[in-house]
Chain A
């Protein structure tokens, strides 16, 4: 119950912060959408970083590391440090300058003018919404998966139908999702873009701080960093996968399993190369057969999992972080910057912030492979490990609040961005800027946000057991496939309207094709382990280049306007 009290307290604190930031709100639509371009370096770093780190970063990375091991860090985090930094520097600053000069509030406004086409906006709008929705889903699903285990036993009579029997009495995902959506909607509506940036900064500090605290207590519980390194599951000389230790909450000590507990078997174990190895601490791809209990029937069901990863998967994952160049919510954050210098801190510190958040999560996920049952849902690994190893309900509550902070600091920007895009790119674009008062514009934006959040909430309840990491990768893959659009718009004068349509169309078709092949959101690789984002990116790049070269170049006035420093 104490855990729940802390979480509720944190949510109330956020609402108070939203109320406080509403007092700074100037009441105009420009202030609501882009904070009147007034955000300084620190708030920009915190809001950009908080927005890019969601349930994916904390809940997803721990779950993925539980499945595949420490390679998860290089797979997504370190490469994101490089690619994100480069995109902020090469794309973000230019978009900010063009946005400020031309008064853009959304990226669609930029693309419409750069490609001299109104139609590109109508094509992009549903695609951006389609791709943001999975991003919202992972937040709502992640929150549900975090709260249920840590509140297990709090309301045994009220919530008697848990996801797995061990979580009986915990707050169910449907209630967590509902509360989180309402809290975020409230502070976004109260403070607009500035309120969101302030809440983001606060929440980013909370989840970074809590991540470090969680790591410290987990390491202490495991007997230090060196001892923790011996905890992940191990392969013995017979090819069995075993857990050498168990954590006894009653004595708060790590005790050896004698003999080691068998939890699985290496498929096709023919080589002694893997003997006595902890597969989570390296990246060799090894297939392991496990079994998990059906929570309803108690029946044991076998399943296979690949630990580690093929090198080709690791290499092709570098296309996925390109997605940040096309995130509509990030574009909006860039536009809130007071001046170009506000970007400096973000360019320098973003890779380090990623490191601070991801390294502890990846290590905790790998260590957890030696303590938790292999069939546990990956999104629940972090909270279950915290509950097992940290134990103290107040501390667990604070750490859980940190996880929620990471989730909500992305949801808020995405909610706000969807409202901004709909109001400016569809309603205002059609009706004209003078057709509505500022008050009416805000009302339209808020109504659209409520509609999308309701739809997303219903979808989240339908796919509540989806893997947060995999769903996020699909969302990122779609945005990465669109990256050639923004890059060519900024760096290639010859990029044409027809090229832009071909680029967006081919990105959509290739993404939908692979998404369908994956069974709508599962982990999917092409051939020897190539991620679909790589193929989608190449297809859309070729479409942009080929079609642009075959069609009439943009007018000289457009070129002069968008390449002011080269004419």
Chain B
């Protein structure tokens, strides 16, 4: 989880791209650079989400909820 928070805070910082503020440079055949940068930023957010899902998944909460389901199912299955 520490890595998640560090990358999250780094992305928060990188979001404030003051260096792109006054430029209207066009990249990729028609995309203003200020917009293109934030498109890449969106992809990076999805990347962080992917990492979190595979490497920092809160299994303890999943188990906690599943225990309940098993408890709920017991009387039904007995009946």
A interface with B by C-beta (< 8 Å): 70-71, 73-74, 77-79, 81-82, 85-86, 89, 93-94, 96-97, 100-101, 224-226, 228-229, 273, 277-278, 281-284, 311, 314-315, 318, 339-341, 344, 347-352, 354-355, 359, 362-363, 366, 564-565
Contact = CB atoms under 8 A, between A and B. Distances in A.
A314 B30 CA distance: 24
Contact of B38 (A74, A315, A318, A344): A74
Interface string B1-45: 000100010011001111011111010011110110111011101
Given A89-B49, A229-B30, A318-B15, A282 B21 contact: yes
Given A224-B30, A282-B32, A283-B21, A565 B61 contact: yes
A351 B45 CA distance: 6
Nearest to A102: B68
Nearest to B62: A340
B32 A78 contact: no
A362 B30 contact: no
Contacts of A85: 45-46, 48-49
Contacts of A351: 42-43, 45-46, 49
Nearest to A84: B45
Contacts of B46: 81, 85, 348-352
Contacts of A281: 24, 26, 32, 34
A217 B65 CA distance: 48
Contacts of A564: 64
Interface size classification for chain B: 35 or more
A362 B64 contact: no
A315 B12 CA distance: 9
5 contacts: A93-B61, A282-B32, A350-B49, A354-B42, A565-B61
Nearest to A338: B69
A229 B25 CA distance: 10
A71 B42 contact: no
Nearest to B15: A79
Given A355-B39, A564-B64, A284 B22 contact: yes
B32 to A, nearest CB: 4
A282 B53 contact: no
A348 B52 CA distance: 9
A348 B24 contact: no
Given A82-B11, A278-B24, A96 B48 contact: no
Contacts of B15: 74, 78-79, 82, 318
Given A351-B45, A359-B35, 7 more contacts: A100-B65, A281-B32, A282-B23, A282-B34, A283-B20, A352-B42, A355-B43
A496 B31 CA distance: 50
A89 B55 CA distance: 12
A347 B23 contact: no
A341 B62 contact: yes
Contacts of A273: 22
Contact of B16 (A77, A224, A311): A311
Among B23, B49, B64, B69, max chain A CB count under 10 A is at B49
A77 B38 contact: yes
A412 B9 CA distance: 34
Among A77, A281, A311, max chain B CB count under 10 A is at A281
B35 A70 contact: yes
The 9 closest A-B pairs by CB, nearest first: A225-B30, A281-B24, A351-B45, A97-B65, A340-B62, A78-B38, A355-B42, A81-B45, A565-B60
Among A74, A79, A564, max chain B CB count under 10 A is at A74
A366 B24 CA distance: 12
B74 to A, nearest CB: 15
Given A226-B30, A565-B64, A78 B41 contact: yes
Contacts of B64: 97, 101, 564-565
A363 B24 CA distance: 13
A318 B45 CA distance: 14
Contacts of B57: 344
Contact of A283 (B34, B39, B60, B65): B34
A381 to B, nearest CB: 17
Contacts of B31: 225, 229
Among A282, A362, A565, max chain B CB count under 10 A is at A282
A363 B29 CA distance: 13
A449 to B, nearest CB: 29
